[in-house]
Structure 1
Amino acid sequence: MGVFDKFSLQFRKPEGKLGRFAGFLMKKIGSEKNEWTISLLDIKPDDNILEMGFGPGVGLDMVSKVVQGGKVVGIDYSEVMLEQARKNNKKSIQEGKVELKLADVNNLPDFDQSFDKVYAVNSIMFWDNPVQTLGAVRKYMKRDGILAITVQPFTKGATEDTAKELGEDYMETLEQAGYSDIKVELKSMKPVPAVCVIGVNK
């Protein structure tokens, strides 16, 4: 396996020095995707929010600035990302607003609250069984809770059509997992547009 391939794997589960650098890149290039995804969720101050695969914690930091009376929870199975997210959300964690859990989305932990909004940004492609995971998280979501899954394809030769095709694929994934009122949003970005698939837990 070449160096580039080894580094690419760091975006699945960042570890060691390469993993810390991958986290730096995620923070640098992921802000726009996170901000867009969060805007689509229409988060309210009293909402409870769950991020699945929080990476360096960029999205959690943005959400915690909106949420006042609710709770912001994130899960990720990388200890390196947990360390970075703790640093990037130190104040909110100390205030009890943000809670981070070292956990695998393929084996969800128990939560002390039910969630109004759940989201994931560029992580679903690494899940073993997305339908199973998205179905499992529904039991922790409130009725009419909203799920948003955002992906920006980075495969070689990816285009806007690639993003649209991913949107169609993940629409089917959400439908199989039991979500309703599913819709797709597309955002023009460089080098390739991002797609967000949104569903409701009826």
Structure 2
Amino acid sequence: MSFFQNTCKPKGFGGNVMVNMMNVGHSSLANWGFTHISIQDNATSLDVGCGGGSNIRKMLKKSPKGKVIGIDYSEISVKKSIKINKSAIERNHCKIFQGNVLELPFKNETFNLATAFETIYFWADIDQSFRQIYRVLKKDGIFMICNESSGENDKDKKWTEIIKGMKIYTSEQIKYALKKAGFVQIKTDKNDKGWICVVAQK
């Protein structure tokens, strides 16, 4: 397995290195993404594909009276997320699960907010995944997707050739899939780096 395959599902030593890199490398993207939404201090939030857990930590600071749940299908990612959010977990403000977005282990209408940072590229069925997120969001709940790759240049295509199973979506493709899942009030933004942020409401 190539080192970059660990972006899909971190494993072994290379996976440990990758989740540490993700926590640092995706920080600017996350900070930019959070400028597109407001998070209530008592919100119940879900980070899907939580990776190394750094975005969970950011969300916990934004909702000190709420809860943040993380889920990832990589055992290494889950362990790292638990480690860096240990204090919040001990105070019952955070939980981390190993699982798959195709079958989220949560009750209907549980969350005020769901986020997906640099992860939908690796979801096996984006339509089913979006339906699952729609299901677990409360009425008027928000789903935010942030990607560094917009699918609009040759560099993006190169990554899909290097990383098996990766698919990069344009903002229009994401918007179309969200509409099919039932989301409304869909807003898209793109910055000068080519990053995209899509925010939708249930």
Comparing 65-74 and 115-124, the one that deviates more: 65-74
Query: Secondary structure at 1:40's aligned position in 2?
Result: coil
Note if 1:73 corresponds to 2:73. Answer: no
8 Å CA contact 2:127–2:180 kept in 1: the answer is yes
What count of residue pairs does the alignment treat as equivalent?
Answer: 189
Instruction: Tell me the CA shift for residue 129 of structure 1.
Output: 0.8
Question: What amino acid is aligned across from residue 194 of structure 1 in structure 2?
Answer: W
Specify whether residues 137 and 158 from structure 1 end up closer, same or farther in structure 2 by C-alpha distance, changes over 3 A only: closer
Note if 1:200 corresponds to 2:201. Answer: yes
Distance of 2:90 and 2:191 partners within structure 1: 34
Normalization by structure 2: what TM-score? Answer: 0.87
Equivalent residue number for residue 183 of structure 2: 179
Distance of 2:154 and 2:17 partners within structure 1: 21
Comparing 48-57 and 145-154, the one that deviates more: 145-154
Equivalent residue number for residue 160 of structure 2: none
Write the deviation string for residues 136-174 of structure 1: whole angstroms up to 9, x where unpaired.
222211111111111112985249xxxxx7111111111
Gaps of 5+ in 2: 158-168
Note if 1:121 corresponds to 2:112. Answer: no
Q: Which runs of structure 1 show a deviation greater than 4 angstroms over 4 or more consecutive aligned residues? A: none
Over aligned residue pairs, what C-alpha RMSD do you find? Answer: 2.0
Match of 2:23 among 27, 31, 41: 27
8 Å CA contact 1:38–1:63 kept in 2: the answer is no
Distance of 1:97 and 1:39 partners within structure 2: 23
Note if 1:38 corresponds to 2:70. Answer: no
Equivalent residue number for residue 55 of structure 1: 51
Distance of 2:11 and 2:107 partners within structure 1: 26
Normalization by structure 1: what TM-score? Answer: 0.87
Instruction: Tell me the CA shift for residue 18 of structure 1.
Output: 0.5
Instruction: Tell me the CA shift for residue 112 of structure 1.
Output: 8.8
Instruction: Tell me the CA shift for residue 41 of structure 1.
Output: 2.2
Distance of 1:54 and 1:98 partners within structure 2: 12
Write the deviation string for residues 58-111 of structure 1: whole angstroms up to 9, x where unpaired.
100000011122211010011101111111111111111111011111221124
Equivalent residue runs for 1:151-162 within 5 Å: 151-153=147-149, 157-158=155-156
Distance of 1:152 and 1:68 partners within structure 2: 28
Question: What amino acid is aligned across from residue 28 of structure 1 in structure 2?
Answer: V
Percentage identity across paired residues of the two chains: 26
Note if 1:168 corresponds to 2:168. Answer: no
Question: What amino acid is aligned across from residue 62 of structure 1 in structure 2?
Answer: K
Equivalent residue number for residue 146 of structure 1: 142
